[in-house]
Amino acid sequence: MQGVWTVDHVRSAEERVMAVVPAGTLMRRAAFGVATEVAGLLARHTGGVAGRRVALLVGAGNNGGDALWAGAFLRRRGVAVTAVLLAPNRAHPAGLAALRRAGGRTVTGAAAGAVVAAADLVVDGIVGLSARGPLRPDAAALVDRITAPVVAVDLPSGVDPDTGAVTGPAVRAAVTVTFGCRKPGHVLAAGATCSGVVRVVDIGLGPELGEPDLVLLEPAEVGAAWPVPGPDDDKYTQGVTGIAAGSAAFPGAAVLATGAAVHATSGMVRYAGQAADAVRARWPETVTTGAVADAGRVQAWVVGPGLGTGKAGTEALTHVLGAGVPVCVDADAITLLATNPGLWDAREPDTPVVLTPHDREFARLAGEVGPDRVAAATRAASQFDAVVLLKGHSTVVAAPDGRVLVDRAGSAWPATAGSGDVLTGLIGSLLAAGMDPWLAAGSACLVHGLAAELAARNAPIGASALLDAVPDAIRAVRAAAGASMAAGASMAAGASTAAGVGAAAGASMAAGASTAAGVSMAAGVGAAAGAGAVARWTPAAGDGSVSAG
Ligand SMILES: NC(=O)C1=CN([C@@H]2O[C@H](COP(=O)(O)OP(=O)(O)OC[C@H]3O[C@@H](n4cnc5c(N)ncnc54)[C@H](O)[C@@H]3O)[C@@H](O)[C@H]2O)[C@@H](O)CC1
Ligand SMILES: [K+]
C-alpha cells in the first residue's frame, strides 16, 4: 500500500525534520527534485535542456520559493528561466536572490502573459499546501495563456490540498512533483486529474510521518490476495455467492452482477429473483431460484442491482440482512434503506455490510457528499457500521474502524451503464471467499477499473465488455503479484536489486499494470487518451519517485 498524508501531518513531520537540519535544507532538496524533473522532461521531449525557455509562476509563499530555487538550479544547466512574480513584494527573498545570482530574469504585470505563452515548459509555484480556494483572477488569467506542459510544485494551484476539491480555475499539470509523500489532493476528486503524473521526492520526512491518513492499493497486493482454488478446494470451500438482483423489468442487472461473481472466483454462485431465466440462459454454471428464501446456503449476499423498490425488493433485502453472512448492498437496496431506515432492524448483529453508493444514492442515505469525500464516507461508515464505497473517478472506501483507501481510476472508461452491477458482483464473491470487507471492496474496485481499461483499449465500451475483461484484469494483478514475489525471492537469494526491479517492471508492463507510478494501469492507454500536449509530455514509466540528490 502507498500512504497518503494530510497537510497537518505533513507539516508536523516537516517541523520535526526542520528542527534538526540547517535552515533552507528542505526547500533546496524539494527544489532540486523539481529541477531534475523539469530537466528530464525538457531533454526527453524537446531533445535538449540548455537554451530551452522555462517560465516560473511564483506566488507569495514557500511554494514560490521552491520554484525560484528550482529556477536557479536550471540556470546552471543553461535553461533560459524567467520568473513571473505574482506578488512581487512577497516573493521568497532567498529564492529570488538565488535565481538572480544564477542569471534568471523576473517579470511582473503586463509583460508576464507573453513570457508564459512563449515558454517550452511552465513551473507552477503559485500556491502549495497553504492553498485556500481556486486561483485568484490574476493568476487564472496567466494560466489561461499557457500552451506548454506544466510541472506543478507540490500541488497544482487551485486544488484543495486535503480534499482534492476544485471550485474554480485551477492548474492542470502534466506532472506534479511533491515532497515527502502524496497528499489527499493528489488522489481525490478533481485534484487527481489536475495533478497528472505524481512524482514523490524524498526530502527526509519518511521517519516522521507516522501512520498514513489514506492508502492506495497496489495491483500486486490485490493480485497476491485474490482468491484462487487450491489443491484441497471444491466449489463450496471457495465460498458461495448469493445474488439477489434483477427483476422482470431489469433482468440485465442480474445477468451482469451474476457474471461478475462467476468470473471473480471459482466458488459457486446462486441467483435468486425474477430474472432467473435470463441468468440461467447466460450463466449455466449458476444455481437459480425465484426467491431468496429458497436459495440455500451462501457465504455472502449481493443485493440491489435492478431489484426495484417494491414489495419483492423489500422482502429480498430484509431476508439477506438477516441471513447472518456479509452483504454487499447496492443500487435499489440502498434506496430502500434510505426511504425506510427501519429495514436496518432486519440486520443480524455483527453482519458485515458493504454499501456502494454513488453521490445521489449517498445523499439519500446520509446527506449530501459535499467537497470532503473522505469525511463523508467516513461519517457514513461510522453511522451505519458498514464499509462505505463512495463511487467516483476516485473512489473512496471507508471502513467503520477508520481505515480509508482511495482507488484512483486509471481512466473514465468504467463510467458506463451496468458497470456498477459488475462491481457489486465482484465485491460479493470476494466477501463470500472470506476477504476482509474493506479490502474486498478496494480490491474489486481496482480490478474493475483495470478491466474497463483493458476492454476499452481507447474506445467506448459497455458493461458486458467490461465484464468479459475481468479474467484478464485478474490475470494482470496476479502477474504483478507473481513478479513481486519472484523479485523478492531473487533478492533474498542474493540476486542484485537491479535485476529484481527490472523483473518486476517487465512483468508489470507485460501485465498492463504500471504500478508504482499509479498512473494509467493499462500501459499507454491513459497517455494516448490525454490531450496532445499532455500525452506528449507524459513521463516515461518510472518508479514514481526521484532522489533529491
Ligand atoms: N514547510 C517546509 O518544510 C517545506 C515547504 N515546502 C513548500 O512550501 C509550501 C507551503 O508554503 P507556504 O506555507 O509558505 O504557503 P504557500 O506557498 O502554499 O502559499 C502562500 C500563500 O498564498 C496565499 N494563498 C492561499 N490560497 C491562495 C490562492 N488560492 N491563490 C493565491 N494565493 C493563495 C496565502 O496567503 C498563503 O500564505 C509547500 O507547498 C511546498 O511547496 C517545500 O519547500 C518543502 C519544505
Ligand atoms: K503549486
User: What is the predicted pLDDT for the residue at 324?
Assistant: 97
Domains 2-213 and 219-476 share a fold: no
Task: Find the ligand nearest to 31 CA.
Answer: 1
User: What is the predicted pLDDT for the residue at 489?
Assistant: 61
User: What is the predicted pLDDT for the residue at 513?
Assistant: 33
Quickly count helices (H) and strands (E) in the chain.
22, 19
CATH T-level assignment (fold) for domain 2-213: Rossmann fold (3.40.50)
Task: Find the ligand nearest to 125 CA.
Answer: 2
Ligand 1 probe mutation, 9, 34, 130, most atoms within 8 A of CB: 130
Q: Which of 503, 502, 538, 499 is nearest to 519 (CA)?
A: 538
Q: Give residues with Cβ within 8 angstroms of 166, minimum separation 6.
A: 134, 158, 159, 160, 189, 190, 191, 194
Q: Give residues with Cβ within 8 angstroms of 348, minimum separation 6.
A: 321, 322, 323, 324
Instruction: Output the CA–CA distances (angstroms, integers) from residue 31 to 13, 26, 52, 82, 178, in the order listed.
Output: 18, 8, 18, 16, 10
Q: Taking the mean position of all CA atoms in its chain, how far away is CA 223?
A: 17
Q: Give residues with Cβ within 8 angstroms of 228, minimum separation 6.
A: 265, 266, 478
User: What is the predicted pLDDT for the residue at 488?
Assistant: 61
Ligand 1 centroid to Cα of residue 59, in Å, is 8
Task: Find the ligand nearest to 60 CA.
Answer: 1
Cell of 44: 526527453
62-76 and 93-101 helices cross at what angle (nearest 10)? 10
Give the gyration radius of the chain's Cα atoms: 25
User: What is the predicted pLDDT for the residue at 543?
Assistant: 35
User: What is the predicted pLDDT for the residue at 277?
Assistant: 97
Does 393 count as an annotated binding residue? Answer: yes
Task: Give the residue carrying C-alpha cell 482468491.
Answer: 227
Q: Taking the mean position of all CA atoms in its chain, how far away is CA 50?
A: 36
Count CA within 13 A, CB hemisphere, residue 335.
11
Ligand 2 centroid to Cα of residue 278, in Å, is 53
Give domain limits for the chain. Answer: 2-213, 219-476
Cell of 105: 530574469
| ipTM exceeds 0.90, yes or no | yes
Tell me, letter by letter, the H, E, C secondary structure of 404-464.
EEEEECCCCCCCCCCHHHHHHHHHHHHHHCCCCHHHHHHHHHHHHHHHHHHHHCCCCCCHH
300 has which bridge partners?
A: 241
* Strands 197-201 and 175-179, bridge-based pairing: parallel
Residue ranges around ligand 1 (CB below 6 Å): 14, 18, 26-27, 30, 59-64, 66, 127-133, 135-136, 153-154, 179, 203
Q: pTM for the whole thing?
A: 0.89
Q: How far apart are CA 339 and CA 358, in angstroms?
A: 16
Cell of 402: 477508520
Q: How far apart are CA 394 and CA 199, in angstroms?
A: 18
Give the helix ranges, DSSP H, for 308-418: 311-321, 331-339, 359-366, 373-384
Residues of the chain falling short of pLDDT 70: 487-549
Rounded (5°) CA angle 6-8-11? 110
Does 119 count as an annotated binding residue? Answer: no
CATH T-level assignment (fold) for domain 219-476: UDP-N-acetylmuramoyl-L-alanine:D-glutamate ligase (3.40.1190)
